[in-house]
Amino acid sequence: MIMQGLFAIFFLCFVAFSQAKPIFNVLKYGASGDGHTDDSHAFEKAWRDVCKAKKGNPTLLVPKGRTFMLQPMVFQGPCKSSSINFKIRGIISAPKELKGWRWRSSERGAWIQFMYIDGFVVKGGGALNGQGAPWWDCFQKFRCQRPRAVSFHACEHLKLRRVKLVNSPGGHISLNGCNGSIVSNIHLVAPDESPNTDGLGISGSSHVKVRNSIMEVGDDCITINGGSNMNISGIFCGPGHGISIGSLGKGGTYGAVEEIHVRNCTFTRTSNGARIKTWEGGFGYVRKIIFEDIILKDVQYPVLINQYYTAFAATGGNKKAIKISDITYRNFRGTSYFEEAIKLMCDNVVGCTNLVLDNIKITSSNPKMKTRSSCSNAHGKSSASNIPQVSCLK
């Protein structure tokens, strides 16, 4: 009996050991983690081993209590295992000064790029610091081309969670061609005055879920530039420019976004709330969009459609425009900074069709002012109880 018990314990330990996830700690590959030494080479070596590992959901570990300075890097698949983990427990930092950045030709788009990694899981607990301040200054003075902080390209079924990213040089995170992805509990931070520091940009992706995240940035908290079947919920946005569909169609290009559901989101002192923006001369469509259960706190333009996104100037006369249809705004509550709380500016060629505004109550943050709506070539229906009334709909 004793021998049988010992054998059972040994067997269970063997199974547990054989199923354990292999951990590839960057410290064991020579990373210093002192915040000054370039640790890029150590991360490259660790990634090669992670990507080659065939079993056990291999994990690249960035340990806590250390700061790892990285030059622009590309982590590329495909990898051997069906699931790869990238666990950020410490801090990953970009170089602090522009002269410290060393680029290779393939890395100009972003500081850190992840490409062609299916079943990729990125977990946080630590943080990434894009050291964006000198980039913002260079952009404002010399219009410098700036990198995004982190990009994911063709990473099917990506899971990104509990990641904090601060002070990106440009946009914070982009997803392109990342179908079936889940983004949750991320925290993106940059000063309100930081130029064009978008939070999460999504393009060319379908069946994406974004939920329970905080985005405090200098541009759109979330922008959708192409894709379908997305659910966005539990987002706290502010400062920033709201959640935007687009911009689409710039330079006469094609753009398509459909079946997007944005719900249970809060906008605090943002320049916009729920926004759709398309350029004149583009072609394609924006359709089947739902914004619902939205809380607004002192938002400049809570509901905004701009079908001729050219600095709010309605030039008109183009033969082409992105078609906007089947857009629903439901259960909006809160306050508007400007009098014009609902602004639906649609092109005079195709206009906007089947807009629905239901159960809207947007009052002014100034107790002496009432909110109002304005429309141009907008077709649809509005509930009689809405505040403000949207009687300008055709």
Contact by Cβ (8 Å): 341, 372: yes
pLDDT band at 16, cuts 50/70/90?
very low
Q: Please report the pLDDT score of residue 12 as a whole number.
A: 42
Q: Please report the pLDDT score of residue 49 as a whole number.
A: 98
- Over residues 256-285, mean pLDDT: 96
Q: Please report the pLDDT score of residue 98 as a whole number.
A: 95
Reduce the secondary structure of 137-169 to three states and give it as a string. Answer: HHHHHHCCCCCEEEEEECCCCCEEECCEEECCC
Q: Please report the pLDDT score of residue 4 as a whole number.
A: 55
pLDDT band at 9, cuts 50/70/90?
very low
Query: Is 142 exposed, middle or buried (CB count within 10 Å of its CB: 0-12, 13-18, 19+)?
Result: exposed
Q: Please report the pLDDT score of residue 14 as a whole number.
A: 40
- Average pLDDT of the chain is 93
pLDDT band at 318, cuts 50/70/90?
low
Q: Please report the pLDDT score of residue 311 as a whole number.
A: 44
Q: What are phi and psi of 105, to 5 degrees?
A: -60, -30
Contact by Cβ (8 Å): 371, 339: yes
As a whole number of angstroms, the distance between CA 38 and CA 61 comes to 17
As a whole number of angstroms, the distance between CA 110 and CA 72 comes to 7
Share of the chain above pLDDT 70, in %: 92
**Out of 48-57, 83-92, 124-133, 310-319, least confident range:** 310-319
Locate tokens 């050219």: which residue?
Answer: 310
Q: 78 preceded by cis ω (within 30°)?
A: yes
Q: Please report the pLDDT score of residue 389 as a whole number.
A: 97
Is the predicted pLDDT of residue 355 greater than 70, yes or no? yes
Start-to-end CA distance of the chain, whole Å, equals 85
Buried b (16+ CB within 10 A) or exposed e, 264-273: ebbbbbbbbb
Is the predicted pLDDT of residue 313 greater than 50, yes or no? no
User: Are β-strands 200-203 and 23-25 bridged in parallel, bridged antiparallel, or unpaired?
Assistant: unpaired
Tokens of 79: 């990898």
Per DSSP, the residues of 331-365 read EEEEEESSSEEEEEE--TTT-EEEEEEEEEEEEES
| 160 vs 313, higher pLDDT | 160
- Tens digit of each residue's pLDDT (9 = 90 or more) over 293-305: 999 999 999 999 9
- Over residues 16-25, mean pLDDT: 70
Q: Please report the pLDDT score of residue 11 as a whole number.
A: 45
pTM across the whole model: 0.93
- Tens digit of each residue's pLDDT (9 = 90 or more) over 131-183: 999 999 999 999 999 999 999 999 999 999 999 999 999 999 999 999 999 99
- Over residues 199-204, mean pLDDT: 98
Is the predicted pLDDT of residue 15 greater than 50, yes or no? no
Domains of the chain (ranges plus CATH)?
240-394 (2.160.20.10)
User: Are β-strands 323-336 and 159-161 bridged in parallel, bridged antiparallel, or unpaired?
Assistant: unpaired
- Tens digit of each residue's pLDDT (9 = 90 or more) over 36-85: 999 999 999 999 999 999 988 999 999 999 999 999 999 999 999 999 99
Q: 388 preceded by cis ω (within 30°)?
A: yes
Q: Please report the pLDDT score of residue 13 as a whole number.
A: 43
Q: Please report the pLDDT score of residue 349 as a whole number.
A: 81
Catalytic residue numbers, as ranges: 219, 241
